[in-house]
């Protein structure tokens, strides 16, 4: 099955990004395809290159980056939500791209299931 | 903005494919940004010619209550946008009856005509959709 993922909450404060990551990993292991992860609302903070968690904690941003690289997942950050929160190309982690909300709708049209993670 | 897709193959064209999209709004209009950013998705989505419906549940029913004044909290009043939805061919707007009644609201309190449906019917509406986005 082809999945699209929507993440609406920022890293660390909220479990949404963690759960989405574990879901994506499990789905891939089962042979499904994750074609895109779309970051919206505070979810855009999941793309900040400036994130530096303590050494003994998981690195949520780099974890997405690696999963995307290994499995050709398109990581898209909403431009309007990002600019509102100070996320720009300058501080965007490699492997993510900033684009419009149309990418979310397209994901809904193209995937078999669009799964939302957030409140 | 970067348009590079990092080696990801281009997806197929979406033209002609029409799916049923339902936007579920559950939160009060101000206090959090969810309602405003949900509305932004709805407006962008209109350009994709999809079959769109909006549902308002829980505190989300307050989003479509008329007579909002936001000057006191220095936040943009986006209420008028709901009246503009008709111009985007978005005309299927639903309010859950139980949520409305629990908050002492009635049909005439809304800024645009809303279809009032019970929780049971709302469940059926959700069941019939291809894509449900909850904000």
Residue A10 bears catalytic tag: no
Q: How many domains does chain B have?
A: 1
Residue B8 lies in a domain: no
Residue B25 lies in a domain: yes
Instruction: Name the residue among A93, A106, A115 with its Cα closest to residue A44.
Output: A93
No. of H helices and E strands in chain B?
4, 5
Residue B3 lies in a domain: no
Torsion angles phi and psi, residue B98, rounded to 5: -60, -40
Chain B segment 114-133 residues within 8 A of A by beta carbon are 130-131, 133
Nearest Cα residue in chain A from B38 = A41
B63: left (phi > 0), else alpha (psi -120 to 50), else beta? alpha
CA B16 to chain CA centroid, nearest Å = 23
pTM of the model as a whole: 0.87
Nearest-Cα distance to chain A for B100, in Å, is 21
Considering chain B, what is the average pLDDT of its residues? 90
How many CB pairs below 8 Å do chains A and B form together? 73
Per-residue pLDDT tens for A68-78? 999 999 999 99
What was the pLDDT predicted at B46?
83
Domain range for B117 is: 20-134
Contact B6 A97 (CB under 8 A): yes
Residue B130 lies in a domain: yes
Residue B10 lies in a domain: no
The yes-or-no verdict on residue B8 having pLDDT over 50 is no
> d(Cα B77, Cα A27) in Å, to the nearest integer?
41
What was the pLDDT predicted at B78?
94
**Class of CATH domain A2-117:** alpha beta
Residue B5 lies in a domain: no
Contact B47 A108 (CB under 8 A): no
Where do the domains of chain A lie? 2-117
Provide the CATH number for the domain around residue B62: 3.40.1260.10
Residue B65 lies in a domain: yes
Per-residue pLDDT tens for A72-116? 999 999 999 999 999 999 999 999 999 999 999 999 999 999 999
Most confident residue range from A113-117, B46-50, B73-77:
A113-117
A37: left (phi > 0), else alpha (psi -120 to 50), else beta? beta
Does the CB of B13 have a partner CB in chain A at under 8 Å?
no
Nearest Cα residue in chain B from A90 = B1
Span B113-119, average pLDDT: 97
What was the pLDDT predicted at B47?
87
């Amino acid at each position: 099955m082809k999945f699209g993922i929507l993440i609406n909450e920022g890293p660390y404060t909220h479990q949404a990004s963690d759960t989405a990551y574990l879901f994506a990993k499990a789905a891939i292991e089962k042979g499904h395809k994750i074609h895109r992860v779309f970051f919206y609302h505070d979810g855009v903070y999941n793309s900040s290159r400036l994130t530096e968690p303590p050494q003994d904690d998981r690195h949520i941003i780099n974890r997405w980056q690696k999963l995307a690289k290994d499995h050709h997942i398109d990581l898209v950050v909403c431009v309007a939500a990002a600019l509102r929160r100070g996320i720009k190309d300058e501080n965007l982690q490699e492997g993510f791209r900033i684009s419009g909300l149309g990418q979310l709708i397209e994901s809904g049209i193209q995937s078999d299931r669009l799964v939302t993670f957030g409140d | 903005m970067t348009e590079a897709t990092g080696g990801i193959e281009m997806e197929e064209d979406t033209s002609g494919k029409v799916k049923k999209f339902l936007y579920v709004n559950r939160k009060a209009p101000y206090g959090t940004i969810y309602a405003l950013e949900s509305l932004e998705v709805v407006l962008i989505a209109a350009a994709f010619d999809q079959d769109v419906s909006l549902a308002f549940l829980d505190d989300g029913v307050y989003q479509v209550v008329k007579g909002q004044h936001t000057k006191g909290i220095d936040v943009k009043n986006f209420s008028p946008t709901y009246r503009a939805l008709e111009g985007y061919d978005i005309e299927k707007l639903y309010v859950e009856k139980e949520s409305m009644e629990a908050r002492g609201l009635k049909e005439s309190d809304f800024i645009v005509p809303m279809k009032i449906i019970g929780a049971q019917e709302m469940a059926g509406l959700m069941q019939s959709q291809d894509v449900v986005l909850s904000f």
